[in-house]
A and B are shown apart, each in its own frame.
Chain A
Amino acid sequence: MINKLVGSDAEAVSDIFNGAIVMIGGFGEAGSPIELIHRLIDLGSKNLTVVSNNTGSGNVGIAALIANRQVSKMICSFPRSTNSVVFPELYRAGEIELELVPQGTLAERIRAGGAGIPAFYTPSSVNTPLADGKETREFNGQTYVLEYGIKADFSLVKCETADRYGNLTYHKTARNFSPIMCTAGSTTIVQAKNIVEPGGIDPESVITPGIFVNRVVEINDPLHESILVASGERYPQ
């Protein structure tokens, strides 16, 4: 399908199945596709592996998805933050698996997954516990560790502006992991603040080319995680 527009956020996520690998864009709340996450909570798919830099805060967004016991494993670089309570409790209780990955390795594993590269060597984490048990190799006298590309069944991202071809632009530091996650998802689902006609985005300014995107839904006025957390909101209520 060349036309990527779908009618609702619920329809956009409706085929996320039990056991799926789901990449979720965002660095903290910047770029977190909170409406798509909440529709995934409504859908109730279980046993998900979620790839995202953080584990959410308060009881909304990713944290709420984890609290709803839909996530069996997190692949992330920084699973705690000021207001993160849900993940630490479940992790200490041994009820959620964590694969901790250096942030640059996480980014490159996603990039590689989307680019058809199965594995690569990186200097990051050499001589640390995060390289334990991993294959290493020397190049020009320096040691590197083998890391594998990651692909997802679904990627959920938020963008600023989209057209019906799925071309995307982002807002400031809300871009973060989203462009590479768009490339690594078999089905990439985008919530856009604005949808414009084709040509409404300058071709020189497109950040994510539409070929990487499968579904776009317009969410004009997205919720903000920090505002919800500050007012003690929970999802579902």
Chain B
Amino acid sequence: MNTIERLGWSRNEMAQKAAMDIPDGSYVNLGIGMPELIADHVPAGIEVIYHTENGLLGMGPVPEKGQEDIELINAGKKYVTAIEGACFFHHADSFTMIRGGHLDISILGALQVCEKGDLANWSTGKPGAIPAVGGAMDLVAGVKNVWVITDHNTKDGKFKLVNNCSFPLTGKGVVDRVYTNLAIIEITEAGLKVREMAPGITFEYLQEKTEPKLLQ
């Protein structure tokens, strides 16, 4: 069967779920792709500062049409704004923030996450694929809390939450929590623990879409 199901939360709802979990006062790095959406969903009344690895602390929302600055971009090379009180810095300082443990949370996309928290998100390792690692290996090595936001399964229905990553690793035992369209899952010593499921998703359905055994 070739039918592609995408149930549960929309991408924006997933971003909102992750944004709601960010503690007041956090410094947060947002990776390329779906993590970029999170900047649009900071709840009112809390202060969060977004870091982008290309040299900006205090990244703001996407600019209005016509207000873009070609030299004000995020890690995904998309136009962004700088909030009042933002600062710019060079790459060695930016990765001093990352590797030196100064950021509180890193939110990344993923190709695969295993039940021990290994992350693969930079290469499928296939012949002809162009490997591109960017800052992901530094982020998982240096940031205290690493969250992943990703669709629960691949477009062709394969597992992304797996027993063991088959793609080259970004880091070993680094992921703390995963937000998918179906559920929010904590990576614990005991295994993958389901914290919340999207409306209409049953535990049995979630287990069917997940390779490792889930804990309720």
- Tell me whether A and B are bound partners: yes
> Chain A: residues with CB nearer than 8 A to chain B?
27-31, 77-82, 87-88, 91-92, 98, 100-108, 110-111, 122-130, 170-180, 207, 224, 226
Q: How far is the CA of A179 from the CA of B89 in the complex (A)?
A: 9
Partner of B99, one of A79, A123, A127: A123
Known contacts A122-B99, A127-B171; is-contact A175 B134 (Cβ 8 Å): no
Contact B54 A30 (CB under 8 A): yes
Partner of B171, one of A92, A128, A180: A128
Could you tell me the distance in whole angstroms from the C-beta of A139 to the nearest C-beta in chain B?
A: 13
For B137, give the chain A residue with the smallest CB separation: A102
Q: How far is the CA of A31 from the CA of B53 in the complex (A)?
A: 15
Contact B137 A130 (CB under 8 A): yes
Indicate if B95 sits at the interface (CB-CB under 8 A): yes
Could you tell me the distance in whole angstroms from the C-beta of A95 to the nearest C-beta in chain B?
A: 14
Could you tell me the distance in whole angstroms from the C-beta of B128 to the nearest C-beta in chain A?
A: 5
Q: Which residues of A contact B55 (CB under 8 A)?
A: 27, 173, 175-176
Contact B133 A176 (CB under 8 A): no
Which of B69-77, B154-162, B205-213 has 4 or more CB atoms under 8 Å from chain A? B69-77
Known contacts A111-B92, A127-B169; is-contact A102 B133 (Cβ 8 Å): yes
Contact A28 B88 (CB under 8 A): no
Scoring B56, B95, B134, B141 by chain A CB atoms within 10 A of each residue's CB, the highest score goes to: B141
Beta-carbon contacts under 8 Å, B120-148 to A: 128, 130-138, 141-142
Contact B134 A107 (CB under 8 A): no
Q: How far is the CA of A106 from the CA of B141 in the complex (A)?
A: 15
Partner of A88, one of B94, B95, B130: B130
Contact A79 B130 (CB under 8 A): yes
